[in-house]
C-alpha cells in the first residue's frame, strides 16, 4: 500500500472532529482481535468520557469485541505498556512517541489532535523575580521526564536563548511536582491541563508562559504495530467514536466537566477551563505532523535526551517494523 493511501484512507469531517470509517473498515472485516486494550491517562478527558459513557463497549458488543481500560500516570508509562504488550492503543503527547521510538518500541501513529498550545505552561511562584523564560537559567525546573512538557520546556528555552543544560531539571510526576512547588523546593514547574489550571487557581502560582508561539502541542493516538496491522477496522471505529466524543465535549463543556469532576478529583470549574484549552478535534496522521515530530526527535538527539537518531515517518502502519 502506498504511503499516500495510508494518509488519506480515513475521511475527516470538518467542523465536528469526527473521523468517519469507510465501508470496508466499519464492517470490521479485517479485525481479528476479540478484545482491545486501551491505555489512558486520567487527564485525557475525551478518552475518560468515552470510557465513562461505555460507548465502545456498546458499539463492539455485536462483533463480540470487549474493551479493557488501563490507567497510566503519564505518557511515558503508557508507551512502556504499549511496548511490553499490555495495551494495544493509547493517547499521549508529543515527546513520549519520540522517546519510545528511540528505545525501539514498535508502535504506529494512528491519529492526532490539532494544536493545543494553551493546554501546557510553565508556572513560577507569584512573587518570584522570574519574569521571562530567560530568567530560568540556573533555576530548578520540575517536569515529568519524557512527557510533552519535556519538549515544551526545551523549545521555550531555545526560543529564549537559554541552553537546556543551563537549567537544573527536576524530574517529578504531576502530584509530586505540585507538592514540591508549593513547599518552595523548585523554582518553576512545566505542566499540562487540567493540572495546570488547578495549580493556577489553587496555588501561589503565576503563569510564566503557555505554549502559544512556542510549540503546537499535538496529542497522539498510538497503536501497537502488530495490533494495527491485524485490526485496522477496529482501530478506525475507535478513532471515529473518539471524534464523536470530542464533538460532544465542544458543545457541552460544563456538562463534560461535571461528569469528569469525580473521576479526575478536581473542581468542575477547573476542569471546564482546562477542557477549553484542548481542541477535541482529531485527524488521521499525515506527513506534516510527522515532520513536526521529526523536529522534536532531532532536537532530542542533539541534546542526547534520546540515544540515537530516528525517522518518525517510519512509525506509520505501512513502514517496515
Dihedral sign computed on CA atoms, order 25, 30, 34, 36: negative
Predicted confidence at residue 233, as pLDDT, reads: 93
Burial class (CB in 10 A: 0-12, 13-18, 19+), 122: buried
Residue 235 has pLDDT above 50, yes or no: yes
pLDDT in tens, 74-116: 888 899 999 899 999 999 999 999 999 999 999 999 999 999 9
- Contact between residue 133 and residue 162 where contact means Cβ atoms under 8 Å apart: yes
Ranking 11-20, 54-63, 68-77, 239-248 by mean pLDDT, the lowest is 11-20
Tell me the backbone φ, ψ of residue 114, rounded to 5 degrees: -65, 165
Predicted confidence at residue 74, as pLDDT, reads: 83
Average model confidence (pLDDT) for the chain? 89
Ranking 10-24, 182-196, 256-270, 282-296 by mean pLDDT, the lowest is 10-24
Predicted confidence at residue 317, as pLDDT, reads: 85
3-state secondary structure of 163: coil
- Contact between residue 110 and residue 89 where contact means Cβ atoms under 8 Å apart: yes
3-state secondary structure of 283: strand
Q: Angle at Cα 283 formed by Cα 105 and Cα 300, nearest 5°?
A: 40
Predicted confidence at residue 152, as pLDDT, reads: 97
Predicted confidence at residue 91, as pLDDT, reads: 93
Read off the pLDDT band of 262 (50, 70, 90): very high
Predicted confidence at residue 32, as pLDDT, reads: 77
| DSSP, res 34 | S
The strand pair at 120-125 and 282-284 is best described as unpaired
189's grid cell: 514547574
3-state secondary structure of 181: helix
Q: Tell me what the mean pLDDT of segment 244-262 comes to.
A: 97
Residue 21 has pLDDT above 80, yes or no: no
Express as a percent the part of the chain with pLDDT over 90.
82
Residue 179 has pLDDT above 50, yes or no: yes
Residue 169 has pLDDT above 90, yes or no: yes
pLDDT in tens, 294-307: 999 999 999 999 99
Alpha-helix runs per DSSP H in 114-267: 148-160, 174-182, 195-202, 225-230, 232-251, 253-264
**Within 10 A of 311 (CB to CB), how many other CB atoms are there?**
11
Number of helical H runs and strand E runs in the chain: 14, 13
- Structural domains for the chain: 3-116+218-314 (3.40.190.10), 117-210 (3.40.190.10)
Say which residue the cell 518553576 belongs to: 188
Q: Could you give the CA distance from residue 174 to residue 235 in angstroms, rounded to a whole number?
A: 30
Q: Could you give the CA distance from residue 121 to residue 38 in angstroms, rounded to a whole number?
A: 27
Q: Angle at Cα 100 formed by Cα 162 and Cα 220, nearest 5°?
A: 85
187's grid cell: 523554582
Predicted confidence at residue 30, as pLDDT, reads: 52
157's grid cell: 528555552
Q: Angle at Cα 126 formed by Cα 274 and Cα 192, nearest 5°?
A: 25
Read off the pLDDT band of 312 (50, 70, 90): very high
Residue 3 has pLDDT above 60, yes or no: no
Predicted confidence at residue 31, as pLDDT, reads: 57
Q: How far is CA 151 from CA 58, 73, 214, in A?
A: 37, 18, 10
Residue 15 has pLDDT above 60, yes or no: no
Q: Could you give the CA distance from residue 309 to residue 311 in angstroms, rounded to a whole number?
A: 7
Express as a percent the part of the chain with pLDDT over 70.
89
Predicted confidence at residue 106, as pLDDT, reads: 92
Amino acid at each position: 500500500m502506498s504511503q499516500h493511501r495510508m494518509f488519506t484512507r480515513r475521511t475527516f469531517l470538518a467542523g465536528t472532529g469526527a473521523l468517519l470509517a469507510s465501508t470496508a473498515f466499519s464492517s470490521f472485516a479485517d479485525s481479528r482481535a476479540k478484545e482491545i486494550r486501551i491505555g489512558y491517562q486520567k487527564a485525557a478527558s475525551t478518552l475518560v468520557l468515552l470510557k465513562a459513557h461505555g460507548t465502545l463497549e456498546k458499539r463492539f458488543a455485536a462483533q463480540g469485541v470487549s474493551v479493557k481500560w488501563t490507567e497510566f500516570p503519564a505518557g511515558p508509562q503508557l508507551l512502556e505498556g504499549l511496548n511490553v504488550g499490555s495495551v494495544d492503543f493509547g493517547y499521549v503527547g508529543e515527546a513520549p512517541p519520540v522517546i519510545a521510538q528511540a528505545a525501539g518500541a514498535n508502535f504506529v501513529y494512528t491519529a492526532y489532535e490539532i494544536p493545543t498550545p494553551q493546554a501546557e505552561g510553565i508556572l513560577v511562584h507569584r512573587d518570584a523575580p522570574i519574569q521571562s523564560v530567560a530568567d530560568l537559567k540556573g533555576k530548578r525546573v520540575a517536569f515529568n521526564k519524557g512527557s510533552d512538557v519535556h519538549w515544551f520546556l526545551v523549545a521555550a528555552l531555545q526560543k529564549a536563548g537559554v541552553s537546556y543544560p543551563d537549567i537544573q531539571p527536576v524530574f517529578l510526576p504531576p502530584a509530586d511536582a505540585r507538592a514540591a512547588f508549593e513547599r518552595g523546593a523548585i523554582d518553576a514547574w512545566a505542566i499540562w491541563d487540567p493540572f495546570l489550571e488547578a495549580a493556577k487557581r489553587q496555588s501561589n502560582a503565576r503563569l510564566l508562559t503557555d505554549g502559544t508561539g512556542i510549540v503546537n502541542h499535538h496529542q497522539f493516538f498510538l497503536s501497537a504495530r502488530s495490533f494495527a496491522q491485524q485490526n485496522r477496522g477496529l482501530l478506525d471505529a475507535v478513532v471515529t467514536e473518539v471524534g464523536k466524543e470530542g464533538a460532544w465535549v465542544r458543545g457541552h463543556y460544563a456538562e463534560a466537566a461535571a461528569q469528569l469532576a469525580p473521576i479526575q478529583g478536581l473542581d468542575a470549574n477547573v476542569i471546564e477551563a482546562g477542557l477549553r484549552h484542548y481542541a477535541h478535534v482529531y485527524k488521521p496522521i499525515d506527513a506534516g505532523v510527522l515532520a513536526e515530530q521529526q523536529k522534536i526527535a532531532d532536537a532530542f538527539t542533539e541534546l542526547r535526551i534520546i540515544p540515537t537518531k530516528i525517522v518518525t515517518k517510519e512509525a506509520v502502519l505501512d513502514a517496515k517494523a
